[in-house]
Every structure is written in C-alpha cells, then in structure tokens.
Structure 1
C-alpha cells in the first residue's frame, strides 16, 4: 500500500485533518481513507483526524487500495517514458494516438499505460491521467500513480502552475520575436468539435516566441496561460498564421498529415520530493523533417 509520513514541528496544537490537508490531502481523499481501507496513524497508533497534534508527533497516512479501471482494456504497445518515480509517470505521446479511450480509439495512451503497469506488476493498477493532448498533437503527458498525486496536480492545474511549452510550425513568416494573443474562445455554432474566436467565449491568453524562420513558415515556442480546447490552433488561425497540416483550422494545407504541434516541455511542483520537476521531449521526426525540407 502507498503511505506517507510527516512530522509535526509547529508549536501550537493542530488537528490531524488540518495538518495533512496542508500537504494536499483533499476532503474527498480523506473520506476514501476513512471508508475504503486506508489508515491515519499518529505515533504508530490509529487516530481520528480531529485529534490534536503536539510538537514532534509523527503522522502516517496509508492510502486505500485503488481498484483498476475495469472498463479500460490493455494495450501492450510500448510507451516512451520521460520520467518515472513512485508518484508520477511522464510519457512522450506519439501523434495519431488518443490520450484517452473512446469507442473509436481502443489503443489510447491510457490503454498503453495500463499495459505497462501490468507488465511491471504494480500494486496500484488505477490509471490517473492528469494532462491530455489532442490525438494528432505529440508530446508530454502526465500520469499520477495514485489518488493523492492526482489531487495535488489537479490543484496545480486549477491554479495554472503546471507550465506546458509547445513547439508549433505555423504558416507564413513571423517577423516579431515575441508576442501575446488575448482573444476569447468559444464553441463554433456549426460543429461539436471546432472552436472559434467569439465575443461570448472565455478570454484566452497565448504567448509565443519565434524560434526559427523557414522559407514560408515559422517555428514557434508557445506557452499557454489559459487552457481552452484547441487554444493554440484557434489563436494562431485567428491571427492569420494557422498551424501547418491542421485539418480543422487550416484545411487547405496538406503538407503534413497532422497539425504541427508538439508539447516539448513540462514543469510542475513535486510536493513529495519538494522540488520542481522539469521534463523535455525531443521534436518528433515528422516535424523535424518538415523543418529540414523548408529551411532557408
């Protein structure tokens, strides 16, 4: 079972509940610990969470076992692991693979991670996907290995402290070295999938830097300050520089078989190790080949 131990070093008495919630244990997880086989111990003895801690007390939280996702089938296609520790798994997703299973995607990244967990014989077989990418966007995806890890990263997502950096190839040459886009994004009236810039949408912020100017294209480094569906694709199309190969927002361009978008860097805080975790994924072969073919 997964367990965590902390020592209380404060001077004033404090409830166990307050103390462990300061480390990211949520109310939902507290209920699961209480009612589904977990434990909370103070100095080695089972304890209620309203107990008052004294200076020097040691608190251990034992997470309940998590049943596997029975509805998720197993894929034994290998995954490319960028980082792994007892709490997190970061994978470099290839383009053409959906992040999560659907009726038409039975070999998603989630299926492949489940297969990896089974091959490794991990006690916890529950798949917690934290970040997602469009099927034809490649790059880094975070998985949490247990409910607690998922909870702390969910909070970071809400607080927008998980930093994702993309590389994108867009149409035409961009002269400015750095720019920001502030445009609201909402659902397109004629499509369930497509988004568009619309006054009634949610304000969205995209920041970009020019990395390399090609013959008639530009390689950009892009960072999201909000997390809207298709945000980079919509914003770049709105300013007249749609992504190369984007079937939805640049339908006349067929020079690539998918949109030229790759999540190249991820940075988030690992509270279990007490440090920032930074991961990188190399530019995929199809985007690199396109750059080589269209360089000046």
Structure 2
C-alpha cells in the first residue's frame, strides 16, 4: 500500500505537488472511481486515469453581457481571469463541478448595476438540471432556510436560523433508481440545490459532500438564465441523458 498521490506521481511522471493538486481538483480516477483524498492508501497496482477539462465556450456576447458555457471542474474565478483583460467580470458564480451558463458583465457599467439589482430583487430566472439518486415522482417546492460555514471550504446545511432558501423541482425522467430533475431557484444560497435535494434523501449523483454516490462529476448543470430581456441556454452534457 502507498499514498495515492505518490502512486499517481510515479505512474504519470508528475511531481508530488502536481499529483496532489489534480486529486484535490477531483480530476483523478482510481480504478474508474473518483479519488478525493490525496493521502488515501492504495495498492501498488492501482490504475489511474485523468479527467480532461473541456474548454469554455462563448454562448452569447454583446456590449452588455458575456455568457459562457462553463465546463465542470473549472473555477468561476478562473473563468473571470480568462476574460478580465477585455473588461469582463463575474455577475454570479457556479460551484467548481457544476457546468452550464455563467454570466459576465462590463465592470461598473450601467447594465452591470441593473443586473446586480435584478439578482438582489429575485428578478432572475435560474433553471438547472440535476440527476439524483432515487425516484421523485412529482413536482414539489422545498422551502427550508440554509446557513453556511466557511472553514477552509464552504459547507451549508438546513438550519431554522439560516437564510430563506426556496427550490422548485420537477421530474423530467426516471430510469431505474435515478431521476432527472428540472430545478428552479428564486433564491441563491451557497450549495442550495445540493443541500435541499440531500435533505429529501435524494442527493445529487457525484455529490460526495452531501451524501451523493460516487461519479466522475457532480451531475448539476445550469441550463437556463433569463435576465433583463436576455435568455441564455446551455445544453446539458451527455451524462444527464437518462
């Protein structure tokens, strides 16, 4: 037995720090399963493979708005750095493993101020797709307050003393013991969809933080946003086809 990062480094001709960074980013599969802890003890004959990060694609751009199709495993702030030289800044964020529509606006522009105000007033339509464990047979709304702690990394929970959080879900298809959901959130708390679905005992597949079964990635995708007359849509990846 040997620590995972040391085995990976030897197998892929990487430094120990490079191997640790890849594991920390969720980009390493050990015998086909995602590896989450660099110091996990594994057999010498463990087979490693690396998840390839897709390139961000521009969905729409004009003088006010830049809409990017964010791949899974890309940090929102890294996206901003790609486009910062052209004057774009993030309007909102997505979790690292969440894919889909993310919006950037011109810094300090009149439109950016209107857009930020629209988010505050809950005038933005945000629709996601998620694949969860178990069968959810009918539409329902989840109204459970959420609180978040940040000690090294963010973790949220349902908490009666937390902030208001509302999630609307609708089943789109069911195959075996998995349900593909349409998810609409009027509010935008940290990890809101993930926490609310876990609270129903239907965690998102790939969500190791909130009880989801292991998968190559978190199966959560920002499908559609409507904001100030704009509607931007991102087609979900093939992983979401049930």
Q: Structures share a fold, TM > 0.5? A: yes
Q: Given the alignment of the two structures, is residue 164 of structure 1 paired with residue 126 of structure 2, yes or no?
A: yes
Shift of 1:162: 1.2
Question: 1:128-157 CA distances to partner (integer Å, 9 max, x unpaired)?
Answer: 210210000000011112422211111111
Rounded Cα–Cα distance in structure 2 between residues aligned with 1:189 and 1:268: 29
Instruction: Give the conservation status (yes or no) of the 8 Å contact 1:128–1:150.
Output: no
Instruction: Give the conservation status (yes or no) of the 8 Å contact 2:180–2:240.
Output: no
Q: 1:258 aligns with which of 217, 221, 231?
A: 217
Could you tell me which runs of 5 or more consecutive residues in structure 2 were left unpaired when the two chains were aligned.
1-53
Q: Given the alignment of the two structures, is residue 245 of structure 1 paired with residue 206 of structure 2, yes or no?
A: yes
Q: Given the alignment of the two structures, is residue 136 of structure 1 paired with residue 136 of structure 2, yes or no?
A: no
Shift of 1:78: 5.3
C-alpha change, 1:141 and 1:172, in structure 2 (3 Å) is same
Rounded Cα–Cα distance in structure 1 between residues aligned with 2:101 and 2:62: 16
Q: Given the alignment of the two structures, is residue 286 of structure 1 paired with residue 236 of structure 2, yes or no?
A: no
Question: 1:268-289 CA distances to partner (integer Å, 9 max, x unpaired)?
Answer: 11xxxxxx1111100113333x
Q: Given the alignment of the two structures, is residue 98 of structure 1 paired with residue 75 of structure 2, yes or no?
A: yes
Give the superposed CA RMSD: 1.9
Q: State the structure with more CA Rg.
A: 1
Could you tell me the TM-score, scaled by structure 2's length? 0.73
- Residue 41 of structure 2 corresponds to none
Rounded Cα–Cα distance in structure 2 between residues aligned with 1:267 and 1:96: 24
- Residue 186 of structure 1 corresponds to 147
Instruction: Give the conservation status (yes or no) of the 8 Å contact 2:124–2:226.
Output: yes
Residues 38-187 of structure 1 mapped to structure 2, 5 A cutoff: 79-100=56-77, 108-114=78-84, 125-148=86-109, 149-176=111-138, 178-187=139-148
Residues matched between the structures, number: 188
Rounded Cα–Cα distance in structure 2 between residues aligned with 1:140 and 1:206: 18
Question: 1:244-277 CA distances to partner (integer Å, 9 max, x unpaired)?
Answer: 01010025x11x22211000001011xxxxxx11
